[in-house]
Amino acid sequence: MKQLWYDTFFRGIAVDFWRTALPQSYTDAEVDFLERTLASDTGRRLLDVPCGTGRHLIPLTHRGFAVTGVDISEECLAATREDAGSLVLDLRQADMRDLPYDREFDGAYCCGNSFGYMNPAGAAEFIAAIHRTLKPDCRFVLETGMAAESILPTLLPGRQMDAGEITVRSETKYDACDSRLDIDYTFERGGVSETRGSSHYVLTASEIRRLLEAAGFSIDAILGEMSEALPYQLRSPRLVMVARRKP
């Protein structure tokens, strides 16, 4: 595969930022949802891809799940190992489409905005790879803030985010012909700044649903965040799609 921006983006200060960017209460609520949604009679083996710094993987492991994490960034995987302490983890460095598993998992999830990293053809490859990994009738949770109904109505040309001693400023341009957000992130810490570019493809909820169905999934729920009480609608901050591999 040709090198893409995310092959080298997640290193150094970017890993340090995302390691601490979200409050623990936010993560706890997401992990509660994943536990409820992915619990299965067939077993407790889950796939987290891409797993980043283990924000969901580590607490789910503490709750008794056997979680395999896949990520392209060795620095993210190293941070996961460090934060896990004495926990024994199953981690693999690979592109999120490179999943050499066949009907091995009782559930899978993809959280954050990573689903939008690839163009629609790449997204279809990823979903097909996820489908292969799951046992029949098991679920896949896909969560993203980059669905069209979420990101486009509230799109800002720039934002600032702070996490401890790190500040991140972003500048965003939208390529309407390619349905793609091009975002430059400038990380600042201790008077030193570094800018890295990224791209996110924007699909509608309907387009994502059709990709899942074409791969052999049925759709159990389309939610506005990780809560069964909030259906997805225009301006929902997140899209959470719960799909099930057909028997």
What pLDDT score does 228 carry? Answer: 82
Q: What is the mean pLDDT of residues 210-229?
A: 95
Report pLDDT digits (tens) over 84-127. 999 999 999 999 999 999 999 999 999 999 999 999 999 999 99
What pLDDT score does 2 carry? Answer: 56
What's the per-residue H, E or C state across 165-231? CEEEEEEEEEECCCCEEEEEEEEEECCEEEEEEEEEECCCHHHHHHHHHHHCEEEEEEECCCCCCCE
Share of the chain above pLDDT 70, in %: 99
What pLDDT score does 1 carry? Answer: 46
Q: What is the mean pLDDT of residues 213-220?
A: 98
What pLDDT score does 215 carry? Answer: 98
162 vs 181: CA distance, rounded Å:
22
Q: Domain spans of the chain? A: 6-147+203-245, 151-198
* Mean pLDDT for the chain overall: 96
Architecture of domain 6-147+203-245: 3-Layer(aba) Sandwich (3.40)
Report pLDDT digits (tens) over 47-61. 999 999 999 999 999
Report pLDDT digits (tens) over 149-208. 999 999 999 999 999 999 999 999 999 999 999 999 999 999 999 999 999 999 999 999
What pLDDT score does 227 carry? Answer: 85
Q: What is the mean pLDDT of residues 9-21?
A: 95
Specify the 3-state DSSP secondary structure of 109. Answer: strand
pLDDT band at 229 (very low <50, low <70, confident <90, very high): confident
* ∠ Cα 218 219 224 (to 5°): 165
β-partners of residue 128 are none
137 Cβ contact list (under 8 Å, min separation 6): 42, 244, 245, 246, 247
Q: What is the mean pLDDT of residues 215-237?
A: 94
147 vs 163: CA distance, rounded Å:
25
